[in-house]
Amino acid sequence: MKYIIDLDGTLLNSDLANLDAVEFVKTLQESSMEFLIMTNSIKSPSLIKNRLKQVDIHVGLEQIINPIVAMNLYTEKNNYKKAYAIGSQTELDQLSIELDHEHPEIILLLDFEKNNIGYSELQKIFDWIDQGVPVVTASRSHYYLKSGKKTLDTGAFVTLLESVSDVTIEVIGKPSKEYFMAGVRKLNAQPEEVTVIGDDWRTDVLGASKAGCESILIQSGKYQAGDEVHCKDSKCVKQLMHVLKP
C-alpha cells in the first residue's frame, strides 16, 4: 500500500507534531513504504519541508505535493508550454511552465491578492476565456478571515469569471479528483493501491473516493465526533499508528 497523507490536522497540529506522527513517518520510512504529503496550502514545498523538520519529520521535497506542484504535473501532462498566472511572486516562482502575458495556452489562478488583480487583469482573463483558452484554479474558497474580517479570496473571482462565461473552471486542489490523481501518478500507482489519510472528510475522504483511492479518517485536527457517518467505506482511527494495524 502507498499513502497520501494530509499535512495540517493529520501530521501537524499548528507547529507541533500530531500525537504519534513522528513514529508513523519513521515506521513508513523504515519499511520503505512510499508516501506523499498533500496540502491545499500553496506555500512552497521547501517551507513545508522545514515546518516538518522542526518537529523531527524528515522528508524529501519530492514527497510534498501542493496545488502548484499538481498544476505543474497537469501542464506537463497536457503539453502546455505558456501560461498566464495570477499569484504572488513566491507562488509564481514555483511554476515550471513559461509565463506569457500575450499569448498564453492556459490560465493558472493561484492566489488573488489586492496587488496582483484589478479590472484590467480580469478583463484580460475574460477575453482569453472567450477565445477558448482553458483555465484552472488552485482554490474555490470565496473568502478567508484576516484578523477576524472576511477578506475576498480567489474563489470569489473564479465564480465571477464563471458567471460571465459558459465555462466551469477546474480546481486543482482538494477535494478535486484531478488533484488526487496527480498524487496517485506521482506515486507511480493505480488509485486502488493508494490510501489517503486525513482529518477532514469533506476534502480528504471525498476527494480520495472521487479518485478511486481508499481513505482513512483520523480523529484529530478538523475531525468532529460523528464525522464517520459521512465516511461509510473508510476506516476511522484515533491515531496514525493504528493505520498500520490489520
Q: Give the footprint of Mg ion on this chain (CB under 5 A).
A: 6, 8-9, 199-200
Shortest approach of Mg ion to residue 180 CB, angstroms?
A: 14
CA 72 to chain centre: 12
Shortest approach of Mg ion to residue 175 CB, angstroms?
A: 11
Measured from the CB atom, the residue of 10 and 75 that comes closer to Mg ion is 10
Measured from the CB atom, the residue of 158 and 197 that comes closer to Mg ion is 197
Measured from the CB atom, the residue of 153 and 199 that comes closer to Mg ion is 199
CB burial of residue 228 (10 Å; 0-12, 13-18, 19+) = middle
Beta strand spans in the chain (E): 2-6, 12-13, 16-17, 35-38, 64-65, 82-86, 98-99, 106-109, 135-137, 143-146, 149-152, 170-171, 194-198, 214-218, 235-237
Shortest Cβ contact with Mg ion: which residue?
A: 9
Measured from the CB atom, the residue of 9 and 104 that comes closer to Mg ion is 9
Q: Are 41 and 8 in contact (CB under 8 A)?
A: yes
Shortest approach of Mg ion to residue 199 CB, angstroms?
A: 5
Shortest approach of Mg ion to residue 200 CB, angstroms?
A: 5
Report DSSP state, residue 241: G
What are the grid coordinates assigned to 59, written together?
Answer: 522528508
Task: Give 144's contacts (C-beta < 8 A, 6+ positions apart).
Answer: 150, 151, 153
Measured from the CB atom, the residue of 108 and 171 that comes closer to Mg ion is 171
